[in-house]
Structure 1
C-alpha cells in the first residue's frame, strides 16, 4: 500500500505523487472523495494493472467529480513525471501504465475510467477476445439473459469464457486467447457467433450498429474488438452515480441475474479478497482452431 505523508502527497514504489484537493467529492452520492478514491485505486491496482500494463491507455477525466464535465484523454498531458512511460501510435502519444505510481498520478488528475487498447503497445495482435453486449435501453433487465445465451454458445464451441459487467449498462464476455490469433480472425468468429445468437433469439439480439435502428434489442458488438479501439478495462471504476466497477463474474452469478450496480468501489475489495481475479483463472482457449474451421 502507498504511504500518505502530511505534505499532501503519496509515496508509492519510491515515487512521491503530489495530491491536490484530497477532500474533493468525486462520487458525491457515495461520499467518495479523491483521498478515498486513491485508496481504492491502490487496492484495485494488482487487478486493474494486469489488464492495462503495456497497453495504450485512454482515460476519462472528471475534474469536478461525476456530476461535472468530463473529457477523454488520449495524449499524455504535460508536464509528465519522470516515472510515466509513453508510446506513440498513429501520431498520438499515449500513456503506457507500468505500475502503481502512474495509476495514482492519474487518479489525482481525476481520471475515473481506464480504457486500454486491446493490444500491447508495438503489437498488432489482440491480448484477448472480448465480445461487447451493448443494451439499447438505459435499464435492461435482460442483459444477464443475453450474456448467458452467448456463454452457452461459446461453451458449445469448447470455449471457456468470463463475463464481466461493463460497470455501466452492458456486459462484456472475455475469452483468453493463445498468441498468434489476429483481430481479423476474432472478427470472423465474432460475426459467426453473433449471427447465430441473433437468429436463435431475434427478440433479444441485433447486429445493427446504429442505435436508432435497434429498437429495444441488445447489440452484439463484435466490431469494437479491433486494433486501435478500446473497451472498459476489467476492474476499472466507472463514472456512474453509484461508483460501479467493471467486475468479472461467475456464470452462476449471471444465472442469478445480478446487476451491474451490485459491484462498486465500496465493496469491490471484499469481493476480490474472497474470489481473486476470475479472468486469470481461465487458461488460453483454442480460438484459433475454431477460426480455422470457419467457412
Structure 2
C-alpha cells in the first residue's frame, strides 16, 4: 500500500486511521470510502442516537457492495482506546457511542449498523417495532398496506413513526414509556397481526415461512425480541443505490413515496428539511391496549 492510500483524521482529540479513501464502496453509485466517511459525519448526530448504549451488529463489505459481506458482532482486535465495548452471552459488542467509533467502523467498511432492541445492561425494549416485509422485491401495495397499519394503530390510540428499512420493507416504530416487556409487546403485535390478516386476508399475513406467504405482506412482530437487532434509523444499507433507512411522514406513506429515493446523496437535504422525525414523537403508554388484549 502506497503512502498516498493511508491518512488520518482527528475527531474529538482521537486520531482515526483512514486506508484507501478512494476505494469504491458503492461502485454503482460512485461512492468512495472518503465520501462515505464524510456522510457518516453528517449522519452521526442522528444515527448515534439510536445506536448508543445498545449491543451493535455491523455488516461489513471489505470489497464494497457487490462483493462478499459478513455480519460482525464480536469487536475486532486490536481496538483503539476510544472504542467502548460491552459483554453479553460471551460476545464482546461495540457500543457505538461516538463519532470517533463511527468513523473507525466506517474505515473498516462497516456499511450497516444494526443495534439491539434493548439497552446495554437492561432487559426492557427501548421501543416497539413492527417489521412490514413484502414477499416480493417490488410490491406495489406496500405503502398502501403500511398506511392501513398506521391508521389501525391510530384507532388503537397509538402514535407511530414509519421508516424505510433501506431495503425492500418498512418498519413502524412506536416510542414507548419504560416498564414494558418484550412479551407484552409481542402479545400486542400478535393481536394486531391477526386482526389485519383476518380483515384483509389477501393483503396481510403473519406466516413466517416465505414459501407459505404467497404475495401477501408479512406483519413481523416476532423479530422484536431481546438479543435481536434491526437496521437503525439513518443507517446506510449495502444496496447498489446507497439507500439509507429513513423515517417518513404519514403523508409521504399515503402518497406512495418511492423507498429507493432515500440515499446517501439525498439524506443531507432531507435532514435539513425535517430534522429527526423519530425524535419528535412522544413516548407512548400502551396500558389501554394491553388491558384490552389481556
TMscore range, shorter length: over 0.9
C-alpha distance in structure 2 between counterparts of 1:52 and 1:288, whole Å: 27
Name the count of aligned residue pairs. Answer: 291
Equivalent positions of 1:124-135 (< 5 A) are 124-135=123-134
Equivalent positions of 1:54-203 (< 5 A) are 54-203=53-202
Where 2:28 maps in the other structure, the secondary structure is helix
C-alpha distance in structure 1 between counterparts of 2:109 and 2:240, whole Å: 15
Across the aligned residues of Structure 1 and Structure 2, the Cα RMSD in angstroms comes to 1.2
Residue of structure 2 equivalent to 1:49: 48
C-alpha distance in structure 2 between counterparts of 1:41 and 1:69, whole Å: 22
Unaligned runs of 5+ in 1: 1-5
C-alpha distance in structure 2 between counterparts of 1:292 and 1:112, whole Å: 41
1:207 paired with 2:209, answer: no
Cα deviation for residue 288 of structure 1 reads 3.0
TM, length-normalised to structure 1: 0.97
| Conserved? CA contact 1:243–1:265, under 8 Å | yes
Where 1:19 maps in the other structure, the secondary structure is strand
TM, length-normalised to structure 2: 0.97
C-alpha distance in structure 1 between counterparts of 2:75 and 2:94, whole Å: 6
Unaligned runs of 5+ in 2: none
C-alpha distance in structure 2 between counterparts of 1:259 and 1:203, whole Å: 23
Residue of structure 1 equivalent to 2:36: 37
| Conserved? CA contact 2:6–2:20, under 8 Å | no
Cα deviation for residue 201 of structure 1 reads 1.0
